[in-house]
Homo-oligomer: A and B are copies of this chain.
Amino acid sequence: MNGLFYLVPAAAVLALFFAWFFFRQMMKESEGTVTMKEIAQYVREGAMAYLRQQYKVVVVVFIVLAIFFAVLAYGFGIQNSWVPFAFLTGGFFSGLAGFIGMKTATYASARTANATMRSLNSGLKIAFRSGAVMGLTVVGLGLLDISIWWKVLDFFVDDADTSHKMVVITTTMLTFGMGASTQALFARVGGGIYTKAADVGADIVGKVEQDIPEDDPRNPATIADNVGDNVGDVAGMGADLYESYCGSILATMALGASAFFGDTGMQMKAILAPMTIAALGVVFSILGIYAVRTSEGASLQKLLRSLNLGTNLSAVLIGVATFGIFYLIGFENWWQMSLSVISGLVAGVIIGEVTEYYTSHAYKPTRKLAESSQTGPATVIIGGVGLGMISTAIPVITIAVAIILSYGFATGFSFDTALLSNGLYGISIAAVGMLSTLGITLATDAYGPIADNAGGNAQMSELDPSVREKTDILDALGNTTAATGKGFAIGSAALTALALLASYIEEIKIGFGHIAEKGGELADQFAQLAHSSITQIVEHFNITFMNPVVLVGVFIGAMMAFLFCGMTMNSVGRAASKMVIEVRRQFREIAGILEGKQRPDYTSCVRISTKAAQHEMILPSVLAIIAPVLVGVILGPAGVVGLLGGGLGAGFVLAIFLANSGGAWDNAKKYVEEGNFGGKNSDCHKATIVGDTVGDPFKDTSGPSLNILIKLMSMVSIVMAGLTVLIHG
């Protein structure tokens, strides 16, 4: 293989080294006073206790699924024999990334608060570099897993036809994406329910009923709330993006192997390109991380500019370097392919900016929303729903343009079906482009909950109010980066899912191959289908919009997005109710809590969130795994493609709506708190608190879980393609 390949494991090791280095740097800092250490310890223990519970459930699911895949592979021979192992490693690495990121975050928060006492810049540096541990761990483990599997399969897969061997290797590797997806689903759904049950519960009794501030140590749910930030926003987000990152690279490799089938040289180049782009992305992410610094007394604007400098620098560098990569690898259309990648990069930036416009109170939409609080909570809710729905327009058009451009650049703007595979490869590599700077974008994202927890720690440890003021600046910045990060997570999920949709058809062909090998009447026909083009498979199964089965699939797919959201939304509602009842009970039964004379029972609240999350995540998760299997078995590939297309279309738009409504409500409340429309404790403030509370599950539970849903449904379909073909071939 081309020597450039070794860039990939090298970048993986580099990323992991810097992750370790930043972690050590952070650990050298002091955790502050005894109380600060104690609070941090509570949060850390709660987070780890939850993660243990989550992994318990996940391990059971993984064992069941791995056995199922083994039966399909060894019992029925309709599945690649590597699938069970690939599936398990995907899940393991994803879980490991979440674990490391969360561990780091829980160590970093008290240290950030402590450093902020020294200077704002020190605080920012610790929080951001601790976030970078997460970012670099995700990309490092991702590229490591990819490199190892490539080498292992290259060694073991036995196929005289080199061209076909590459197709087999890449489609096999794709299935480790399902492991990552499954792990990510539980992390996102479970973490999302955990964090919002605690947050909503804490807010309702604390802010609304008792009029005590956020993170007040008198509130029994406050530790659970801080734990939630870590398990939901750090571990959940990390697992989500680990999955998008690997999924987009793997799908591109698989589509590349298929697009240039028969031309071994080009196949290798097409497989290499996404890996090396990702590898260079790691290098530029690290550069970008070092570029983030700020002066003392910096304003929010200045801090934001400083973070943006880092991410934009990485993006520009990777954009420029892409031209070199394609040229060096030896693509004839090297500059066009680079433009495909850049389409993805630019789309990611635009979606981030639009998200900021709609959700930051520096702009009109959120200010208007805050204004609507003058007529009470109902108009705040109506306004936020309206804002979120309208905010879907530009991101969708951006992704639409990116799809057309990245396809067009890869095919010389020919929409002839003969070039379909090349075009799909172009779309897929645009997703890789969007995600190439994940090392730093995820750092800005994981930074948010660390700063948030630092503020929580400062408040609970009753430090000097000036510290809280500084951490509030860091936290406000975190809110903006979190919103941008969400837009980015959704956009990349959409492009990745699109690439996976195309890969599904590839997997169908592999399925025909497996069945053909088993012989029988139709073996010849199946062998032929195994070597046909995407277009021929589409014709074979009549995957057109006039086929009622496809339309039914579209309906079910769209419905799945809503059903899944509704279930997670209700989970948060139920869990939050339990939390409210417990917090009310403590205020009522434990004398002296409200006067600060008696510590509330934090652990009982942590236990409620943990149990609720563990319990509530099972049904929606299992549904997300089973639905595509059922549709495949009952309706066949035409129904599955409809399901994935409908789920992707509706899920993508729904996810943007939920994220932006939630973000805008959050910041409308902050805008009122800054003294507008009556300021804190006014009726307007109370109305915006209702909006903020409703927005919590919108933006942190249901919305982000949709990213995983649309990817996971594709991954499940891909892994189950063999069974579907066996029944409907």
On A, residues with C-beta under 8 Å from B are 200, 204, 208, 372, 374-379, 381-383, 385-393, 396-397, 399-400, 403-404, 407, 415, 417, 420, 423-424, 427, 494, 498, 501-502, 505, 534-535, 538, 542-552, 554-559, 561-563, 565-567, 569-570, 572-573, 576-577, 580, 641-642, 645-646, 648-650, 652-654, 657, 689-690, 693-694, 697
Contact = CB atoms under 8 A, between A and B. Distances in A.
Given A381-B694, A388-B566, A563-B389, A403 B546 contact: no
Contacts of A657: 562, 566
Given A538-B544, A566-B657, 17 more contacts: A379-B693, A382-B694, A385-B569, A385-B694, A386-B565, A386-B573, A387-B566, A389-B563, A390-B570, A392-B559, A423-B548, A501-B546, A502-B546, A555-B649, A557-B649, A562-B654, A690-B690
B542 A550 contact: no
A538 B545 contact: yes
B389 A566 contact: yes
5 contacts: A200-B378, A379-B576, A388-B566, A415-B542, A501-B546
Nearest to A389: B566
A502 to B, nearest CB: 7
Contact of A653 (B389, B558, B577): B558
B566 A390 contact: yes
Given A554-B645, A570-B383, A415 B690 contact: no
A652 B556 CA distance: 11
Contact of A567 (B381, B390, B407): B390
Nearest to A563: B393
Contacts of A392: 559, 562-563, 566
A424 B548 CA distance: 8
B573 A400 contact: no
Nearest to A548: B407
A439 to B, nearest CB: 28
Copies in the complex: 2
Contacts of A689: 378
Nearest to A200: B378
Contacts of A646: 554, 646, 649-650
A654 B573 CA distance: 21
A505 B547 CA distance: 13
A681 to B, nearest CB: 16
Q: Which of A386, A546, A547 has the most chain B CB within a 10 Å cutoff? A: A546
Contact of A546 (B376, B535, B572): B535
Contacts of A390: 562-563, 566-567, 570
A577 B375 contact: yes
B389 A569 contact: yes
Contacts of A372: 573, 577
Q: Which of A549, A567, A573, A580 has the most chain B CB within a 10 Å cutoff? A: A573
B652 A558 contact: yes
A12 to B, nearest CB: 32
A570 B562 CA distance: 22
Contacts of A550: 545
Nearest to A559: B396
Q: Which of A561, A642, A645 has the most chain B CB within a 10 Å cutoff? A: A645
B650 A403 contact: no
A375 B580 contact: yes
A403 B543 contact: no
Nearest to A534: B546
A556 B648 CA distance: 12
Given A646-B649, A653-B650, A208 B376 contact: yes
A543 B551 CA distance: 13
Contact of A555 (B396, B543, B552, B566): B396
Nearest to A650: B650
A657 B565 CA distance: 11
Contacts of A650: 558, 646, 649-650, 653-654
A541 to B, nearest CB: 10
Given A545-B550, A552-B400, A552-B403, A378 B693 contact: yes
A543 B543 CA distance: 9
Contacts of A423: 548
A211 B725 CA distance: 64
Contacts of A572: 382
A388 to B, nearest CB: 7
A396 B577 contact: no
Nearest to A385: B569
A501 B544 CA distance: 12
A642 B427 contact: no
A645 B534 contact: no
A383 B386 CA distance: 19
A383 B653 contact: no
A372 B573 CA distance: 8
A724 B556 CA distance: 30
A697 to B, nearest CB: 6
A386 B538 contact: no
Q: Which of A208, A392, A555 has the most chain B CB within a 10 Å cutoff? A: A555
- For the complex of A and B, the 7 pairs showing the least CB-CB separation, nearest first, are A389-B566, A386-B570, A378-B693, A386-B569, A390-B566, A396-B559, A558-B649
B690 A548 contact: no
Given A376-B204, A378-B694, A534-B546, A653 B569 contact: no
A379 to B, nearest CB: 6
Given A650-B650, A653-B559, A382 B697 contact: yes
Nearest to A569: B386
A555 B493 CA distance: 14
